[in-house]
Amino acid sequence: MSGQTVSYEDTGAVIMAAGGGARRNAPGALDVVGGLSHVKRVVLNFQRAGIKDLILVCGEEEDALKKQLRGFGVTFLRIDPEKGTEMFEAVRLGLSYCRERCSQIFVCPVDVPFFSAGTVERLWKSSAEVAIPSYQNRGGHPVKIRRQAVESILSYRGNDGLRGAIREAHAEVEYIEVEDVGSVSPAGERKSDQRLEAQYRSELSRARVKVQLVNTKPYFGPGMVTLLKQIRSLGSVREASEKTGISYSKAWTMIRTAEEETGAELVGRQQGGKYGGMAEVTKAGMELIRKYEELERCVQKYSDEKFREIFQSGTLMVNTDGGNEL
């Protein structure tokens, strides 16, 4: 990945942890390799690349996934089993949810967990309607889709999954050649997983910084950003709390704490409505999100630069087996 921090504004990622299709016998989202579950590895890949709007499409494991990813700022969608169990149904649900607020959307099944942040950056820079990573002439994941191609893809009713939907949409497709074997390597083969995990670990080291705003107490961080964005999209605190995997009461506690600490109304309330009241993020709330994300990008950029300066020029290195080498 380049030394510059890329700003992924209006970009989201849909991670399919439900919908088997051709991958029906693939490893599960919670299966662990090298100390990380597949789902957590995919989430970290996107976050490491700078993408914060992450949508996880779940099935029966929804509760366990919410527990494992608590605090990661992930939005959870549960697929309706009556609509089918094919992976494309999970893709369809995720794209439908993101299409209004995201100009570019990555999609990736949870069993392709070893792609690199550099591959995400290469795909993001493509101007094509659909960008697909290619390793030695093999197409892989994640796939990036621009908003203008989403409607045509969603209208697909064939049986050839996302590939068929892209083909029938007549979308402009660009295959991006990458030196990233992980982008074309589904998990599940023990020797391959171990080799890929070792390579992944060697590229993973960085300083992970969590920016939190504090006044008399902590009041604003990644979880609050995700909650406010969901309130903005859904118009309901109750629905937003369900999608972000926190309780309704905790959501209101977070909102009230942030409002007390800033002295501004961040969420406007209206009585009535399907879920007992409508809600909207105020101008002050949107401005707080904007400033927070600007600060977060600056801090991460500085952190990345200092990490390379201090660690990559020193003698303390990280082994691919997880130990330290002096």
Helix (H, G, I), strand (E, B) or coil at 237: helix
- Global pTM value: 0.76
Contact between 11 and 106 under an 8 Å Cβ cutoff? The reply is yes
Q: Which helix or strand (DSSP H or E) is residue 258 part of? A: helix 248-262
What is the per-residue DSSP string for 259-307? HHHHTS--EEEEE-STTSEEEEE-HHHHHHHHHHHHHHHHHHHHHHHHH
In this predicted model, what pLDDT tens digit does every residue of 217-238 receive, in sequence order?
A: 999 998 999 999 999 988 999 9
Compute the distance between CA of residue 254 and CA of residue 207 in angstroms, rounded to an integer. Answer: 27
- Listed as ranges, residues in the chain with pLDDT below 70 are 1-9, 19-27, 83-85, 189-192, 199-206, 271-277, 313-326
Pair of tokens at residue 238: 């109750």
Q: Closest Cα partner for 120 from 130, 135, 106?
A: 106
Residue 146, strand partner residues: 104
Packed helices 283-311 and 248-262: angle between N→C axes, nearest 10 degrees: 90
Q: What is the per-residue pLDDT for 322?
A: 39
Q: What is the per-residue pLDDT for 236?
A: 93
User: To 5 degrees, how large is the angle CA 222–CA 64–CA 48?
Assistant: 35
Burial 26-42 (b: 16+ CB within 10 A, else e): bbbbbbebbebbbbbbb
Q: What is the per-residue pLDDT for 33?
A: 83
Residue 227: CB atoms within 10 Å: 25
Helix (H, G, I), strand (E, B) or coil at 309: helix
Q: What is the per-residue pLDDT for 245?
A: 87
Q: What is the per-residue pLDDT for 2?
A: 42
Compute the distance between CA of residue 231 and CA of residue 223 in angstroms, rounded to an integer. Answer: 12
Dihedral sign for Cα 287, 289, 294, 299, please.
Answer: positive
